[in-house]
Amino acid sequence: MTYEEATRFLKDCEGYGSVLGLDNMKLLLEGLFNPQKDLKFVHIAGTNGKGSTAAFITYCMAAAGYKVGRYISPAVFCYEEKFQIFEAGSDGNTESRKVSSVFITKEDITEEAGQIKEVCQNLTSEGKNHPTIFEVETALAMMYFRKKQCDLVVLEVGLGGRLDATNVIDTTECAVITSISMDHMTYLGNTLAEIAWEKAGIIKPGIPVVSYEQAEEASTVIKARAKELKVDLLIAEFNKIEISRQNLEGTTFSYGERKNLYIRLLGEHQVKNATLALLSLEVLIKKGYKITEQQIREGLYQTCWSGRLEPIAMHPLFLLDGAHNEDAAVNLAENIKQYFKGKRIYFIMGVFADKEYDAILKHTAHLAYKIYTLTPNNQRGLSSAALARAAVNYNKNVIDSVTSANAVWSALKAAKKEDIIIAFGSLSHLQEIREAVKNSEYLL
């Protein structure tokens, strides 16, 4: 198989849709000799904060000298981003080594995809369903991380938890549940309790669970499931957080007995995600993983996560953010008030049609001087015209820009160097935004 044939196979797999359930995934992995059984996992479910929490855990464990695989979906900036391996450099100083990551190579994609395609053909010839693209990519991640002999894999759930393809694993070291809110209701349920039940599906007998401080409706479900399976449940206590300094460079905070921790990811919600990661690290330490206090601090400090209030240009300040549901919009609005009070702010927005975009607008639109709408380059994308019609209910200064390039060009042309531009609404168009900004003639 060539790389072109591999990418064509993966593209064809997109046609098999998205199907919740574990049976097909188990058959696929059995055909590949169960690569997941040779790996150890931190398994992360939740509505918001999965990626950031995964990043904090990944960097801290890598800073401690472990080879850490990380599998995320969707990718933001390139396909290979889904499959990364993180390690600390070998400069001799075990307490403050720089963590770096490598993406999967074309050669590795080709090799793994070739084996997966053969198993898929065998399954369909036996009358079984063809695996979905997410099942195929999850299997690819397992094979890749096993081949590279990762010490630990930080694994993000794709959708829900209980019936998600990632939930076939049975060598979890720690299960983590991030913030739960209303999202993907078509698949997961129409109440917070129903959604929490699906997320809590990653809880397994004998495996400690770490949870965000949830709303009562979700917390009750998680506590009941943990009690039923007789597992230890650690819940982040946000009242123990003390923020001492917060600016556009980062945040200094204390959590319980840990004083003066520093993270560069922006926003108070990222401090909460960091505390969730700290609890997860405590679980791993109790399981025998060796990580010092200094390595934890270094890991937190080095953690970066693209597309999360990420500055990509300075004059004017241009930020990318992945806010794509109501809770994330609330966090974004709080961050705008925290960091940009009194500033003139331009929004660039594109959303998926199946998201509660009116709720996103309700929390954010009034904060903008002007809003430019775009249509995401995705079959789920809401048209820029439809988003503009919704936005004018909250802000009369709305421009239908249609494309990412037009929106960036218009916003940069209008903004002065002291203004702020924030692109958000979906992760799907952030790379297009980044490229358009990079090529702009209007940056000072």
Q: Are residues 294 and 346 in the same domain?
A: no
Q: Are residues 258 and 322 in the same domain?
A: no
Q: Nearest to residue 96, comparing CAs of 304, 295, 285, 278?
A: 295
What is the count of structural domains for the chain? 2
pLDDT attached to residue 184: 56
The C-alpha R_g of the chain, in whole angstroms, comes to: 22
pLDDT attached to residue 93: 63
CA atoms within 13 A on the CB side of 302: 25
In a domain, 443, yes or no: no
In a domain, 376, yes or no: yes
Boundary-marking domain end, from 244, 279, 302 = 302
pLDDT attached to residue 277: 98
Is residue 398 a contact partner of residue 369, using CB atoms and an 8 Å limit?
no
Boundary-marking domain end, from 251, 281, 302 = 302
Q: What angle do CA 172, 177, 182 make, to 5 degrees?
A: 140
pLDDT attached to residue 91: 64
pLDDT attached to residue 380: 86
* Helix, strand, coil abundance in the chain, percent, nearest 5: 45, 20, 35
Q: Are residues 298 and 328 in the same domain?
A: no
Cα separation, 185 vs 190, whole angstroms = 5
Buried b (16+ CB within 10 A) or exposed e, 248-280: eebbbbebeeeeebebebbbbbbbbbbbbbbbb
In a domain, 328, yes or no: yes
How far from each other are the two terminal CA atoms of the chain, in whole angstroms? Answer: 47
Q: Are residues 297 and 430 in the same domain?
A: no
Q: Are residues 149 and 101 in the same domain?
A: yes
Q: Are residues 166 and 280 in the same domain?
A: yes
Q: Are residues 284 and 331 in the same domain?
A: no
Q: Are residues 40 and 69 in the same domain?
A: yes
In a domain, 388, yes or no: yes
Cα separation, 417 vs 317, whole angstroms = 7
In a domain, 75, yes or no: yes
In a domain, 444, yes or no: no
Cα separation, 189 vs 242, whole angstroms = 35
pLDDT attached to residue 183: 67
Boundary-marking domain end, from 260, 275, 302 = 302
In a domain, 114, yes or no: yes
Q: Nearest to residue 231, comparing CAs of 23, 55, 43?
A: 43
Buried b (16+ CB within 10 A) or exposed e, 324-362: bbbbbbbbbbebbeebbeeebbbbbbbbbeebbbeebbb
Q: Are residues 212 and 331 in the same domain?
A: no
Q: Are residues 45 and 127 in the same domain?
A: yes
> What pTM does this model have?
0.91
Average pLDDT by consecutive 10-residue portion of the chain (444 residues)? 95 87 95 98 94 96 98 86 92 74 97 97 95 96 98 94 94 96 66 91 96 93 96 95 94 95 94 98 98 97 90 93 90 94 96 90 97 91 96 97 94 95 89 89 64
Residue 63's domain spans which residues?
3-302
**CATH number, domain containing residue 44:** 3.40.1190.10
In a domain, 44, yes or no: yes
Q: Nearest to residue 386, comparing CAs of 370, 402, 397?
A: 402
